[in-house]
Amino acid sequence: MRVLTGLVLASLAIPGLASDSPLDRHNEIMSNETLRQQAYNAGKERILFCGYCHGADGNSKRDYIPNLAAQNPVYLFNAFRKFGTGERSDYVMSSLAKILSEEDKVNIAIYYSGQEVISEPPDSPALYSQGETVYSNACRQCHGKEGKGQAELPRLAGQPTEYIRNTLRLFRDKDPARQSEIMTAVAANLSDDDIRAVAEYVRSMDSN
């Protein structure tokens, strides 16, 4: 019994207390300018392949691919973890998450989170203002007034419309490829019109 309790406690303790978690390592590097510069340069080399899809500066090359520029590092680590465990799946990303080392993930997060998002003006000002209403009623409380999110809450500002629409539909359909209890509950209340409008708004929020 005592052994069992010990095992349970040990397994509970690992995620929170590990001193070498990616976040701890990230924070340690960011507090030292020399280490930060080294990590940034290593990240820049490591993302040569990622750049074909996400852009060398983190502004994605295709409307269905997310920007990584200015994304919150904690969210990036969570995304890698979810692709690794299968809580999230995508043909390319799920294999990449298994190949990248912890050090690669930290360096990549430092590189991409340090880039600026290039935001685009709305195609339809009417849709944009409809989206602004949806956003302030249903999204702002978590993703923030400027759409920057924080920590595990992702930045949305500047994300391509098709990516936002597809992602919200995956949440709404409870698709196993994209699991999040919070977002599944939020998306359950969105109509197709709300999704189109909020995607238009989010893409054009400017918050560098």
Binding stretches for ligand HEC (CB under 6 A) = 47, 49-50, 52-54, 65-66, 68, 76, 78-79, 88, 90, 92-93, 96, 100, 108, 134, 138-139, 141-143, 152-154, 156, 164, 167-168, 178, 180, 182-183, 186, 190, 198
CB of 1 to ligand HEC, least distance (A): 36
Q: Are 172 and 74 in contact (CB under 8 A)?
A: no
CB of 105 to ligand HEC, least distance (A): 8
Task: Give whichever of 8 and 115 is closer to ligand HEC, judged by the CB atom.
Answer: 115
Task: Give whichever of 7 and 120 is closer to ligand HEC, judged by the CB atom.
Answer: 120
CB of 166 to ligand HEC, least distance (A): 7
Half-sphere exposure of 6 (CA within 13 A, CB side): 3
CB of 58 to ligand HEC, least distance (A): 10
Query: Of 137, 124, 153, nearest to 191 (Cα)?
Result: 137
Task: Give whichever of 123 and 152 is closer to ligand HEC, judged by the CB atom.
Answer: 152
Task: Give whichever of 34 and 81 is closer to ligand HEC, judged by the CB atom.
Answer: 81
- Tokens 């590092």 identify what position? 73
CA distance 94 to 75: 16
Task: Give whichever of 11 and 91 is closer to ligand HEC, judged by the CB atom.
Answer: 91
Task: Give whichever of 33 and 158 is closer to ligand HEC, judged by the CB atom.
Answer: 158
CA distance 68 to 66: 6
CB of 137 to ligand HEC, least distance (A): 8
Q: Is the dihedral of CA 127, 132, 134, 140 positive or negative?
A: positive
CA distance 100 to 189: 36
Q: With 0-12 CB in 10 A as exposed, 13-18 as middle and 19+ as buried, what is 125? A: exposed
- Neighbouring residues of 100: CB distance < 8 A, sequence distance ≥ 6: 80, 108
CB of 125 to ligand HEC, least distance (A): 19
